Amino acid sequence: MKIKPKELTATGLTADAARSVALAIVARHCKHSERSDVLGELARVAAHPEQYYRHPVWGRLAVAVRPEPVEQHSHELLPEPGQFAVFGAEGIGHLVLEQMRMAMRLPVTVAGALMADGHAGYGLPIGGVLATRGVVIPYAVGLDIGCRMQLTVLDAPAEFIDTHHDRVVDALMASTAFGMEGVLPSKHYHDVMDGKEFTSLPWLRALRAKAVRQLGSSGGGNHFVDVCEVRLPAGNPLGLLEGRYVGILSHSGSRGLGAAIAERFTTIAKTRCRLPRVAGPFAWLELDSEAGREYWHCMELAGQYARACHDIIHEGLWRALRLKPLTTVANHHNYAWIETMPDGSEVVVHRKGATPAHAGELGLIPGSMTQAGYIVQGKGCHASLCSASHGAGRRLSREEARNSVSRRALADTLKHCSVTLIGGSTEEAPQAYKDLGEVMQAQSRLVDIVATIVPRVVRMND
């Protein structure tokens, strides 16, 4: 059924945005309806949109005609912050602690902890873990939703990397892409792109083309893909024989898709949850609200998309190297989970730059581009909300690293550690990061080290 512009005008729909939505709904839902009935319904929505906000078909048009009034709630901060555990306190700056104290003054906060790699972020600090009751805070999850680590152990001894060094470099160049414009040379399919949210949410549908284009790529900054050496001791929980294996280790998130989701719902949260300006980034969404449920589904979609990107990277590399995968370890470290506290109550646990570390749970804590990282097994420490660090943490800001670490110094460090770097910059130089050994000592209550991961050929954004 084709509706003419003058017919739309006659119904009272004069704004271009509303007319566009009306035509889309008619095309999808009114194929077998009488023209007069459709025009009558359009006129009723235009005249009384408030009666249609919850309508399964015409609700979108009602919002386009007149946005639904948003109920705002003002909240006061607690006069004093609640107590929270700090791991590695001697290496954590004043601003990081202040950001965590602000999070602990929220009236919805139940518990919190700060990991040993903590450094300043926006709202909740990087390395911050926050448990809330009945609400999710988009910026306590972070901008890069689903940022994660993934390790694949391959069926070849570590000597393969030296013997076939050129093949390793070529494989990394052909199978990885980085940065805002990073795109793999060939398109890849993954069923995550068939998620119902891409069709049911018009604003998300508009992001799908970019998400398809970026599928299988990595971000900038400290994101990397590394062909590494995995040193597994006897009796390791991966079930593999003792030895030194070739591995693929990657660090990246949900690309532009996750950032768009985070920005959209942070804006929505700030319009509904009025907090003192100093606490603005902590605006939350109630989980039982429509916006809260929508954010949660979109967060899960971004997490699945991030995992799909890693899966594509790893498969492309092990096929290019002509090796086979033996096992995989992976975990998110920018995400929210519904978990149970020791008293049996349910909370939303936000981990912003923190690794889940429930009892027996495997996770990954990487080092710098030259420093070894680890496969770890959680101890389920409730003081840390069953969490651990997600790395060593920055010692220098990116600007400080640029100004104090020369290209020559970086090259000397790489040569000394027998690491080949493709791309990268002094912003991410090993000198910019804390010593991971000290960080691991500070969190010995939280995780056990079960294997060591040694960087060998690392690719980062140029």
State what percent of residues in the chain have pLDDT above 70: 99
Check pLDDT > 80 for residue 19. Answer: yes
Give me the helix-helix angle, 255-272 and 290-320, nearest 10°: 170
Per residue in 87-106, pLDDT tens?
Answer: 999 989 999 999 999 999 99
Check pLDDT > 80 for residue 461. Answer: yes
Check pLDDT > 90 for residue 130. Answer: yes
Check pLDDT > 80 for residue 218. Answer: yes
Could you give the maximum distance between any two Cα atoms of the chain, in Å? Answer: 79
Check pLDDT > 70 for residue 70. Answer: no
Residue of 388, 369, 381, 371 whose CA lies nearest to 449? 388
Check pLDDT > 90 for residue 59. Answer: no
| Average pLDDT over every residue of 353-363 | 98
Contact (Cβ atoms closer than 8 angstroms) between residue 367 and residue 452: no
Give me the helix-helix angle, 35-47 and 16-29, nearest 10°: 140
- The angle formed by the CA atoms of residues 134, 136 and 137, to the nearest 5 degrees, is 140
> Which segment of 45-49, 203-207, 209-213 scores lowest on mean pLDDT?
203-207
State what percent of residues in the chain have pLDDT above 90: 79
| Average pLDDT over every residue of 46-50 | 92
Contact (Cβ atoms closer than 8 angstroms) between residue 256 and residue 210: yes
Residue whose token pair is 């791309």: 423
Check pLDDT > 70 for residue 71. Answer: no
Q: Where are the beta strands (DSSP E) in 73-160?
A: 73-74, 85-86, 109-119, 126-132, 135-136, 148-157
Give me the helix-helix angle, 165-175 and 290-320, nearest 10°: 150
Q: Is 55 exposed, middle or buried (0-12, 13-18, 19+ CB in 10 A)?
A: middle
3-state secondary structure (DSSP) of residue 125: coil
Check pLDDT > 90 for residue 173. Answer: yes
Check pLDDT > 90 for residue 203. Answer: no
Contact (Cβ atoms closer than 8 angstroms) between residue 108 and residue 132: yes
What's the confidence (pLDDT) of residue 196? Answer: 83
Per residue in 134-153, pLDDT tens?
Answer: 999 999 999 999 999 999 99
In sequence order, what DSSP letters do the residues of 318-387 get, joined into one string? HHHTT--EEEEEEEESEEEEEEE-TTS-EEEEEEESEEE--TT-EEEE---SSS-EEEEEE---GGGTSE
Please name the helix (run of DSSP H) or strand (run of DSSP E) that holds residue 302, with its range, or none.
helix 290-320
Check pLDDT > 80 for residue 54. Answer: no
Chain-wide mean pLDDT for the chain?
Answer: 94
Q: How many helices (H) and strands (E) does the chain have?
A: 16, 19
What's the confidence (pLDDT) of residue 114? Answer: 98
Place 121 in a pLDDT band, splitting at 50, 70 and 90. confident
What's the confidence (pLDDT) of residue 201? Answer: 83
Do the strands 273-274 and 73-74 form a parallel or antiparallel pair, or are they unpaired? parallel
Q: Domains in the chain and their CATH numbers?
A: 5-65 (no CATH), 148-460 (3.90.1860.10)
Q: How far apart are CA 172 and CA 192, in angstroms?
A: 24
Q: How far apart are CA 162 and CA 247, in angstroms?
A: 13
| Average pLDDT over every residue of 345-367 | 98
Place 236 in a pLDDT band, splitting at 50, 70 and 90. very high
Place 332 in a pLDDT band, splitting at 50, 70 and 90. very high
Q: How far apart are CA 79 and CA 225, in angstroms?
A: 45
Residue whose token pair is 């970026």: 214
Residue of 379, 378, 373 whose CA lies nearest to 392? 373
